[in-house]
Homo-oligomer: A and B are copies of this chain.
Amino acid sequence: PNGIPTFSSADKAFTFQPVGRMQLDYGWNMQDTKNPDNRSNKDITDGFNFRRAYIGFAGKMFNDWTYNATADFSGRTNASGRLQTAQLSYNGFKGWIIDVGAMQPAFTFEDSISSNDIGLVERPGINNVVTSLVASEGRLSAGVRTFGDNYFADVYLTGDTVNTSAQTTGDDQHAVFARAAYRPINDEHTIVHIGADIGYLYAPPQTNLVAGSVTPAQAHVVSLSERPENRYGGLGSILNTGNINVSDVTIYGGEAAVRYDSFWVQGEGYQVDLTRRFTPAATNDPSFFGYYAEAGWVLTGQKRNYVANQGAFSAPTVDKPFNPMTGNWGTWEAVARYSFLNLNSDTWATNTANRVRGGQQEVWTLGLNWYATPNVKMMLDYQFIDVKKYSSATNNTQVGDNWQSFGGRMQFTF
């Protein structure tokens, strides 16, 4: 189906399919050259980036079990392949799925949309920030999903991810999250989706104490960071809170989405509350937040689909795969988004130990997507990016910048 080869045993108890997802980005971050200034990122790299390069297998065994074993070879150059997904699911109870392994469990609306199907090249900053704490891809997870004609809910116990640096001397982090969504309207023309998400990182990653180098104030740290919603040329994070020693982190927020025929809109907002630990000089617990609104129009008249067991949109239908001989031009879609992310907290507190100046960014993005076939997609994105960041907790010099970016993605999947 959809051009993806799938093999089934005669009795349908077993299926097998290869997994491939190749996303090649190329783009430019076009900064002006005015000088002197205080920008800490004056010449952001332009160029290519393999954003995702998945190779693996998925399938069904003995009717009720499904698996996915996938490696990721993404990166700019000379990147190493690593484990992306090793997920085992049990589907023996109708309407329920039990998941265990390393996976991308469904947390927030945008993160529940497959990266094949997202409307712009990157997800909104706030979604990346909150999923990086308790969910996101390659996350050790055990949990359960339930879904039906007009609802979706899940709850997971999660640990570390397989693709970030390990706590080699300490113990793994532990968190729990839940997501619930409801579709009050769900007919052929109109889908209205509302939902809520809550996450709780109750055991931050632990580093063993080492006399003279790891103190109690450094033993359970988290840091929040985010890129300016593109990764052209391997662009890294500019916003960054630095390490904060915490006893727990709470995340909460909501999601809403509407599809009306070939139009769709979606928006989400999340709050992140940290509880400090062993840092007596700081008397306040920092909080961060972000939100976005995104809208799309399928120019060629098709509709975005909705995936019940993920509780989120998928790509629009491609009913006329590209073939210039027969006058078929695939499916075209236009998308726009405004995204806001604030990683500052107590920016001007009198007690400077309370100040967290991770920075703040606004990104306006316009995108055009061409789905040549169900498994070949080309994306063009234009962005206006405004990053504001103070030099340090006690230095009020502005080191951010604003600039335009232009780039795109070549994607094929199988």
A interface residues (Cβ-Cβ under 8 A, vs B): 3, 5, 7, 9, 14, 16, 18, 20, 22, 24, 26, 43, 45-48, 50, 53, 55-57, 59, 61-62, 64-65, 67, 69-71, 73-83, 86, 88, 92, 100-102, 140, 159-172, 208, 233-234, 321-325, 372-373, 375-376, 410, 412, 414
Contact = CB atoms under 8 A, between A and B. Distances in A.
B24 A101 contact: yes
Counting chain B CB atoms within 10 Å of each CB, the highest count among A22, A53, A76, A92 belongs to: A22
Contacts of A83: 50, 53, 73-75, 79, 81
A71 B312 CA distance: 31
A159 B47 contact: yes
Counting chain B CB atoms within 10 Å of each CB, the highest count among A92, A159, A162, A322 belongs to: A162
A69 B168 contact: no
A291 B29 CA distance: 42
A322 B77 CA distance: 41
A397 B282 CA distance: 44
Given A45-B168, A71-B81, 18 more contacts: A5-B59, A7-B7, A16-B18, A22-B69, A24-B100, A24-B140, A47-B167, A47-B172, A53-B69, A53-B83, A55-B56, A55-B69, A62-B322, A62-B323, A77-B164, A77-B165, A78-B165, A166-B234
A119 B178 CA distance: 36
Given A78-B165, A83-B81, A166-B76, A375 B61 contact: yes
B78 A81 contact: no
A47 B160 contact: yes
A414 B59 contact: yes
A323 B92 contact: yes
A133 to B, nearest CB: 16
9 contacts: A3-B62, A5-B9, A22-B101, A24-B86, A46-B171, A65-B412, A67-B412, A101-B410, A166-B234
Given A45-B170, A69-B55, A86-B50, A62 B22 contact: no
B57 A55 contact: yes
B3 A61 contact: yes
A73 B45 CA distance: 28
5 closest A-B pairs (Cβ-Cβ)?
A: A47-B172, A77-B166, A80-B80, A81-B81, A5-B16
B234 A168 contact: yes
B88 A233 contact: no
Contacts of A46: 171-172
A82 B78 contact: yes
Contacts of A53: 69, 83, 86
